[in-house]
């Protein structure tokens, strides 16, 4: 009998232990969450995007005439003016480059035969005109002899006045004809020289390397060389850009912002500039362009952009390492407050058409509807629904429901 009761007691204890274990495993445990405290503090809303530095006044030196521009940056040992990126230039003194006349072009076979035929015709015309000069010289000699005879007869008054005047007229006429014929010879020789020059072989036509034959292209403004566009020797047309010149300390920042952000930006708005490899720099907006433009993003999305120009507020020592066309990241302030009630954006979620959070109320999650104002990527302004000191759940998962038990996750 005692053994039988002992077995019953042991069995009952085992069943009780199993039931207790099942109850312990089945009992709901609090969900571990991250909590944040609602507090008052500064908040600002910014329009963020990539920008780049830009020298405010850039002077592009162009070729003034068509010709051959000599190499701008010479290797060591070569003669002539040499410039490199970063070199300092002085207005109207520093020689950017030298330009020489271009070599004559090649002539095709038909054009060469035509020119050679024209040269032969010019030679024949010269010979013809020289023969005409000789004929007129002979006529002039005869008219002068006749005039001398007329002068001798006029002393004895054995010649009429009309005959005397005619002899004098013949001399003057032949002299004028001789001068005209000689001028014709000079003209035909010049035509022949022009035709012969057009037959010149480019291989034998090398322009002189003396500076007197060259056009000196001078710097239009003082500053430094920002970019050498045409470095190698080449034949260029008038207006071909050669070099960009500017003052590296005359920097500004330009950023192409979305038009939806640009409408909220005012001239004078504060800007924080970072992402350039140094400490953040302060700036301010000086111009928002009145016209936008279409820009295709890297993902192929068409976006309407507006160019915003920013000046540095910090002294040059803070951004002296920056140069022309350096990449930066700008954060343009569109709204700010110093004592706003804020909550992390990660605590917000949508409930219908409203925003809501899970507030911690005696270790239980309570769904609380809130009204938010301005927000940025980290914080949101709370207008209604919460007070300073309330704690809210960050990154709520689907395990959290209204009334669910929660506990703050400890440090890992």
H/E stretch holding 161: helix 161-198
Tally the C-alpha atoms within 13 A of residue 120's C-alpha that lie toward its C-beta.
6
CATH class of 62-101+215-246: mainly beta
What pLDDT shows up at residue 77? 46
pLDDT at 230 over 50: yes
The CA distance from 181 to 310, in Å, is: 76
What pLDDT shows up at residue 75? 63
How far, in Å, are 79, 220, 277 from residue 212 at the CA level?
15, 21, 49
HEC letters along 263-286: CCCCCCCEEEEECCCCCCEEEEEE
Higher pLDDT, 17 or 216: 216
pLDDT at 401 over 50: yes
Q: What is the pTM of this model?
A: 0.66
What band does 82 get if pLDDT is binned at 50, 70 and 90?
Answer: confident
Q: List the chain domain ranges.
A: 42-53+249-408, 62-101+215-246, 109-204
The strand pair at 391-394 and 31-37 is best described as antiparallel
How far, in Å, are 69, 140, 375, 402 from residue 343 at the CA level?
65, 117, 9, 19
Residue 307 CB partners (closer than 8 Å, separation 6+): 254, 255, 256, 289, 293
Q: Are 271 and 310 in contact (CB under 8 A)?
A: yes
Architecture of domain 109-204: Orthogonal Bundle (1.10)
* The token pair that represents 141 in the structure block: 């000699």
Fold equal for 42-53+249-408 and 62-101+215-246: no
pLDDT at 209 over 70: no
3-class SS of residue 406: strand
Phi, psi of 31 (to 5 degrees): -85, 130
pLDDT at 373 over 80: yes
CATH number for the region 42-53+249-408 comes to 2.40.30.170
The strand pair at 31-37 and 406-408 is best described as parallel
Query: Percent of the chain having pLDDT more than 70?
Result: 88
What pLDDT shows up at residue 252? 94
Lowest mean pLDDT among 34-38, 93-97, 146-150, 408-412: 408-412
3-state helix, strand, coil in the chain (%, to 5): 30, 35, 35
């Amino acid at each position: 009998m005692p053994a039988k009761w002992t077995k019953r007691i042991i069995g009952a204890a085992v069943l009780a232990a199993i039931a207790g274990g099942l109850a312990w495993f089945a009992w709901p445990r609090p969900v571990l969450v991250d909590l944040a405290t609602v507090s008052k503090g500064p908040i600002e809303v910014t329009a963020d995007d990539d920008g780049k530095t830009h020298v405010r006044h850039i002077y592009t030196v162009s070729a003034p005439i068509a010709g051959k521009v000599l190499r701008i940056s010479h290797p060591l040992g070569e003669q002539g003016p040499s410039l490199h990126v970063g070199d300092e230039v002085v207005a109207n003194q520093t020689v950017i480059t030298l330009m020489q006349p271009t070599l004559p072009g090649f002539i095709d076979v038909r054009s060469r035969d035509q020119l050679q035929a024209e040269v032969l015709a010019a030679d024949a015309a010269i010979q013809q005109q020289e023969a005409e000069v000789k004929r007129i010289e002979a006529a002039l000699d005869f008219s002068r002899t006749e005039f001398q005879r007329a002068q001798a007869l006029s002393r004895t008054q054995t010649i009429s006045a009309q005959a005397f005047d005619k002899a004098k007229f013949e001399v003057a006429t032949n002299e004028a004809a001789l001068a005209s014929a000689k001028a014709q010879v000079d003209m035909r020789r010049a035509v022949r020289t022009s035709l012969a020059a057009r037959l010149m072989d480019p291989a034998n036509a090398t322009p002189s390397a003396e500076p007197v034959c060259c056009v000196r292209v001078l710097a239009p403004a003082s500053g430094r060389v920002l970019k050498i566009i045409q470095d190698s020797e080449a034949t260029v047309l008038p207006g071909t850009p050669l070099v960009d010149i500017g003052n590296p300390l005359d920097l500004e920042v330009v950023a192409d912002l979305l038009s939806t952000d640009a409408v909220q930006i005012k001239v004078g708005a504060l800007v924080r500039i970072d992402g350039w490899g140094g400490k953040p720099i302060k700036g301010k907006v000086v111009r928002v362009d009145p016209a936008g433009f279409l820009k295709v993003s890297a993902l192929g999305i068409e976006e309407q952009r507006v160019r915003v120009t920013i000046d540095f507020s910090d002294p040059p020592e803070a951004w002296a390492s920056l140069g022309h066309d350096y990449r930066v990241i700008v954060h343009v302030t569109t709204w700010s407050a110093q004592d706003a009630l804020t909550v992390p954006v990660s605590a917000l979620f949508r409930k219908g058409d409203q925003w809501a959070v899970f507030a911690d109320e005696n270790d239980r999650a309570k769904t609380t509807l809130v009204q938010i104002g301005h927000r940025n990527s980290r914080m949101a302004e709370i207008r209604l629904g919460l007070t300073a000191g309330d704690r809210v759940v960050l990154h709520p998962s689907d395990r959290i429901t209204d009334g669910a038990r929660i506990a703050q996750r400890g440090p890992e």
